[in-house]
Chain A
Amino acid sequence: MGLLSRLKKIFTGDQEAEAKAAPEKRSEPAASKTAAAKPASKPEDVKVNRIQDAKIKEDKPVVEKITVGHVHMSGCTGCLVSLADNYEGLFKILDDYADLVYCLTLADVRHIPEMDVALVEGSVCLQDECSVREIKETREKSKVVVALGGCAAYGNITRFSRGGQWNQPQHESFVPIGDLIDVDLYLPSCPPGAEAIRNVCLMAYLLLRGDESQKALAAAYLKPLMELPKRGTEACGCDLMVDVINQGLCMGCGTCAAACPVRAVSMQAGKPNVDREMCIKCGACYVQCPRSFYSFDVVGQFESISELIATVMGKGGQ
């Protein structure tokens, strides 16, 4: 509760407290009523601080945004599409929480700039000098490097490449980015769910812009994803066997089967059975399993955290 109320405060500002403390200051009671009913409206205090630049057309609180880049290695752009699948949520993020400073597909910037968070999509082709150089540059210029999606984190389908394709037949060796640089956070799956990318962006904002306690909340949320790189750069449906069933931890909930993007997991005799020919090694099943990691602190507050995310994303509080 403590952590949560602090989190609520940074997102919604002191709006509620203000309204309680000085209701008489509001000229129109109807307006203040609307503000209270729709906590999604922009916080008063942030509006006051906004940059009064005539050239900025949008009405946006830009002061404390983080900078985010999308670095495209050997991936299919599906992860970026998943980010975009937040629809108006993407605009909300870009309006209020993050500036997209690099993204070959969506932004006209040619060279990797300094940035707070690099969302790296795709694995690195060792025969492509540019990719090798840019992944290292990404590490040097970013505070947080996120392996966005199965290819960046674990190789995913690029694990199966043996070269010989047009128009670069010599491009045959693809490695997860963690084989070349230190990675701070894995967000696996093919592609990672739109809402998961959104949550990580919001939490990264807190981690980098929040005060100590806000950082603590974001860190608690992000911690399990930040621990994933320690497990290495290989993932497979076999992880369910090796790290869950063999460890005596599986209780047959079926979440892994739902998570698999290629339906390689079926439930047999109450336990997952992986069709290993089908598995593309995206890592979704294991991270989604409640017995890979489970935090009573974070998941225990699911109701308030979900409400909060809905509120800050401007979808109202219901």
Chain B
Amino acid sequence: MVLGNYKTAVCARAADADILKCSQDGGVVTELFTYALENGVIDGAIVAGPGDAPFKPEPIVATTKAELLAARGTRYTISPNMSLIKEATRSYGLDKVGIVGTPCQMQALRKAQLYPIGMRKVPDKIALAIGIFCMENFPYQGLEAIVEDHCNTKMESAVKMDIGKGKFTVYTERGAVTQIPLGATHKYEQPGCHVCLDYVANMADVSTGSVGTPDGWSTVFVRTKKGEDVWSKAVAAGYFETKDIASVKPGLDLVTKLATGKIDRNKKTLEERAKMGVGKGLRNPYI
């Protein structure tokens, strides 16, 4: 069950070439929110908008396609998207909220829906939660160290960053490509990621990531009734090109392998933490 419950797994990419141009992978997140916004499934979506420094995201409530487009692409640093979940329903007055987030943010969202202790009027307003696969994340200063010190690239000149095939890659405006082994980035990971037991956003309505499908395409898990409803309609409306996941390489086997690796490793970390001291240990949040 490392991949969570899902109704369908599919290889997909956005049909809109403009979206694909600057999206991280198959543009699934931006295209699906676009469909949802244009067809009244959501009134707006919480996404990682541009921040005050390059590749530093700032959560925003996007209510137009232009705002969704401005938030395309992965920033490998923390974007506290959940911080706007109550704002979206209250200050922005949205009745149907979309949100994209890492697996931990999807966990936070579902806990908020079931235990809405400080989340008045949030539970029934979540219309579409898109999860993105996630192995780890970095504090902004960590990302800066990776890009500037290790990859010898200025944050300002980077246009895309990507993690895949065991490498961290930075692309610049002028076409320079720098790659370092992912191993060199591990020490910059945020500690909270080392107890994380979800790789493919099991708690999302639809989750997506790059692993498992060819470059420029995305792996998509359609998980809930809400997810299935919006996904099937968006596909039927021609918003996506899809391929049978069984027909593409490397396919779900690699996703399973990476998910198992992450979960096993982090379970071990939780055990070690529990007996870190002498007869004392650190807290385990999972009950």
Contacts and interface: CB of A to CB of B under 8 A. Distances in A.
Contact of A269 (B140, B192, B195, B197): B140
A278 B116 CA distance: 22
Interface in B33-54: none
B92 interface: no
A195 B86 CA distance: 14
B80 A294 contact: no
Contacts of A248: 191-192, 194-195, 273, 282
Contact of B108 (A187, A223, A224, A253): A253
A223 B287 CA distance: 9
A211 B106 CA distance: 32
A288 B118 contact: yes
A173 interface: no
Contacts of A188: 117-118
B235 interface: no
B122 to A, nearest CB: 8
B123 interface: yes
Which of A195, A287, A298 has the most chain B CB atoms closer than 10 A to its own CB?
A195
Contacts of B81: 253-254
Interface residues of A, number: 55
A295 B282 CA distance: 18
Contacts, number: 173
Interface in B108-132: 108, 110-124
B117 A284 contact: yes
B134 to A, nearest CB: 10
A251 B137 contact: yes
B85 interface: yes
A295 B140 contact: no
Interface of B: 59, 77-78, 80-87, 101-102, 104-105, 107-108, 110-124, 137, 139-141, 190-197, 202-203, 224-225, 273, 282-283, 285-287
Interface of A: 82, 85, 187-189, 192-196, 199, 221, 223-225, 227, 243, 247-255, 257-261, 267, 269-271, 284-285, 287-296, 298-300, 302-303, 305-306, 310
Given A291-B192, A300-B202, A302-B110, 16 more contacts: A193-B117, A193-B120, A193-B123, A194-B120, A195-B120, A248-B195, A249-B192, A252-B190, A253-B102, A255-B83, A255-B85, A259-B118, A270-B80, A270-B140, A290-B285, A295-B286
29 contacts: A82-B120, A187-B117, A188-B118, A189-B118, A195-B121, A195-B123, A195-B124, A227-B287, A247-B283, A248-B194, A248-B195, A249-B283, A251-B192, A251-B196, A252-B192, A259-B119, A269-B141, A270-B80, A270-B139, A284-B118, A287-B115, A288-B112, A290-B107, A290-B108, A299-B107, A299-B110, A302-B110, A303-B225, A310-B124
